[in-house]
């Protein structure tokens, strides 16, 4: 008997040693799950039969159903064979089990219920007694679906025969059990930060591209809180209402579409002002303070006499022979042209050069072009914007008189002005 109890103690110590490795296990008492186990332990007679029987060993099985994580019903069977005493004892228990708390790797339980005992002596008839029991123990979870169990059960056997007293017994057991079925424990997936920007994927609008918190985890190069993929100007900060583009002059037209980004203007002129109200924006208006017409680039049209005087051959402009050098006598006429062009800044002029027939065509073409450019340079040197002047040479191709006489050839060597309209 003492050897058997020593063996039981050794098994208990081994079980407790194994449990110290269970720190990372998980509880698995799930609603709707079943538990089946076997156990071995000692049977101790506390009162009633303690003067009749010696303490012995017992083994048992149990099965339980977990209604919830807290409550379960358990049916258990314990047996103590005729090894020590001349009687076998069989116990059947039906209990309500309560799991008051659940730890990371163990779970205590308590329970109580009805018992039914059968004593089967070696000699004589069986004795059957009803009773009650109470149980307390611990379940440990070192593995996924297999656990270890330590429990102590108090049993009161009510004597039903004449002269029988109530017997009080204690069963202390250790065993293993398996658990299966029930609700599957859903393990939430780990929360990741795929792009490593410090914003977890569920909160990151761009989980695969590093970004900033102000743009909900998306890239924002210009720092205007608008993600680059929806920012019309990702490298220049701008307000949300303009899709992230700047509007320096505040006229509602973003800078990249604004011809005058530093001066407010209406949309019809692409963001440019029109101070004189002539429908020609100032940026294209040569006379921004004075209303004019489009054909004269926003300036008032010149008087008819000016147009007539400076259209056609300009008498008095002469050049040195075979040269593009202007003779000094031409200064008076050219200065008058400077005065008119200064007073009417909307006027643009085409300067044409023509020659007589002396020399070959190529020679005269080059000479006519150089003479037209010489006139332009004179006007530019006296303050006229070069963009208002164009030149073209025609060589000997457009005579206005016969080249057979000196008088005719003199007429053909000429400079003509033509007023250009828009």
- CATH for 324: 3.30.1330.60
Domain count, the chain: 2
Instruction: Return the ∠ at Cα 9 (arms to 8 and 10), rounded to 5°.
Output: 90
Domain boundary among 181, 196, 221: 181
- 399 falls within a domain: yes
- 101 falls within a domain: yes
- 416 falls within a domain: yes
- Tens of pLDDT along the chain (422 residues) come to 444 445 444 444 444 444 444 444 455 678 888 999 999 999 999 887 767 788 999 999 999 999 998 999 999 999 999 888 889 999 999 999 999 988 878 899 999 999 999 998 988 888 899 999 999 999 998 887 889 999 999 999 998 777 778 889 999 999 999 988 877 767 778 878 888 888 888 888 888 888 888 888 888 888 888 888 888 898 889 888 888 899 898 898 998 999 999 999 999 989 999 998 889 898 988 888 888 888 778 888 877 777 777 788 999 999 998 999 999 999 999 999 999 889 888 888 999 999 999 989 999 999 999 999 999 999 999 999 999 999 999 999 999 999 999 999 999 999 999 988 64
What lies within 8 Å, CB to CB, of 395 at 6+ separation is: 354, 355, 361, 364, 365, 366, 367, 368
Contact status, residue 148 vs residue 14, Cβ threshold 8 Å: no
pTM for this predicted structure: 0.43
Determine the Cα–Cα distance for residues 307 and 297; give it in Å rounded to an integer.
16
Instruction: Find the domain containing 116 and state its range.
Output: 2-181
Backbone angle region of 252, left / alpha / beta, with phi > 0 → left and psi within -120 to 50 → alpha? left
We report the CATH number of the domain holding residue 107 as 2.40.160.20
**Three-state SS at 33:** strand
- 327 falls within a domain: yes
Determine the Cα–Cα distance for residues 295 and 277; give it in Å rounded to an integer.
16
Contact status, residue 403 vs residue 356, Cβ threshold 8 Å: yes
Same domain, residue pair 168 and 309: no
């Amino acid at each position: 008997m003492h050897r058997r109890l020593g063996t039981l103690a050794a098994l208990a110590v081994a079980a407790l040693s194994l449990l110290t490795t269970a720190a990372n296990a998980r509880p698995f008492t799930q609603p709707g799950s079943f538990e089946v186990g076997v156990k071995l332990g000692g049977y101790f007679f506390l009162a009633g039969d303690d003067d009749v029987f010696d303490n012995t060993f017992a083994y048992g099985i149990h099965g339980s159903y977990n209604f919830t994580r807290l409550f379960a019903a358990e049916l258990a069977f314990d047996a103590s064979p005729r090894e020590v005493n001349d009687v076998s004892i069989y116990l059947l228990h039906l209990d309500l089990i309560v799991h008051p708390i659940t730890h990371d790797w163990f779970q205590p339980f308590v329970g109580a219920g009805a018992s039914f005992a059968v004593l089967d002596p070696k000699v004589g008839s069986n004795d059957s007694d009803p009773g009650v029991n109470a149980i307390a123990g611990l379940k440990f979870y070192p593995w996924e679906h297999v656990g270890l169990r330590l429990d102590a059960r108090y049993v009161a056997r009510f004597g039903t025969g004449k002269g029988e007293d109530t017997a009080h017994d204690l069963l202390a057991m250790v065993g293993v059990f398996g658990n299966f079925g029930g609700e599957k424990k859903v393990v939430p997936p780990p929360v990741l930060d795929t792009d490593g920007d410090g914003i977890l994927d569920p909160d990151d609008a761009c989980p695969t591209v590093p970004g900033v918190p102000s743009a909900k985890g998306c890239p924002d190069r210009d720092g205007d809180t608008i993600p680059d993929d929806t920012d019309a100007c990702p490298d220049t900060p701008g307000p949300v209402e303009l899709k992230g583009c700047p509007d320096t002059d505040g006229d509602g037209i973003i800078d990249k579409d604004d011809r005058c980004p530093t001066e407010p203007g209406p949309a019809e002129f692409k963001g440019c002002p029109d101070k004189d109200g002539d429908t020609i924006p100032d940026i294209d208006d040569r006379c921004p303070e004075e209303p004019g017409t489009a054909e004269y680039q926003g300036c008032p049209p010149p008087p008819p006499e000016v147009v007539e005087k400076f259209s056609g051959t300009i008498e008095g402009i002469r050049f040195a022979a075979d040269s593009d050098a202007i003779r000094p006598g031409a200064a008076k006429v050219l200065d008058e042209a400077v005065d008119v062009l200064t007073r009417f800044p909307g006027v643009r002029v085409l300067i044409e050069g023509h020659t007589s027939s002396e020399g070959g065509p190529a020679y005269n073409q080059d000479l006519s072009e150089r003479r037209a450019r010489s006139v332009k340079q004179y006007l530019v040197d006296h303050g006229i914007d070069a963009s208002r002047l164009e030149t073209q040479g025609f060589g000997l191709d457009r005579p206005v008189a016969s080249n057979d006489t000196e008088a005719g050839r003199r007429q053909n060597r000429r400079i003509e002005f033509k007023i250009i309209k828009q």
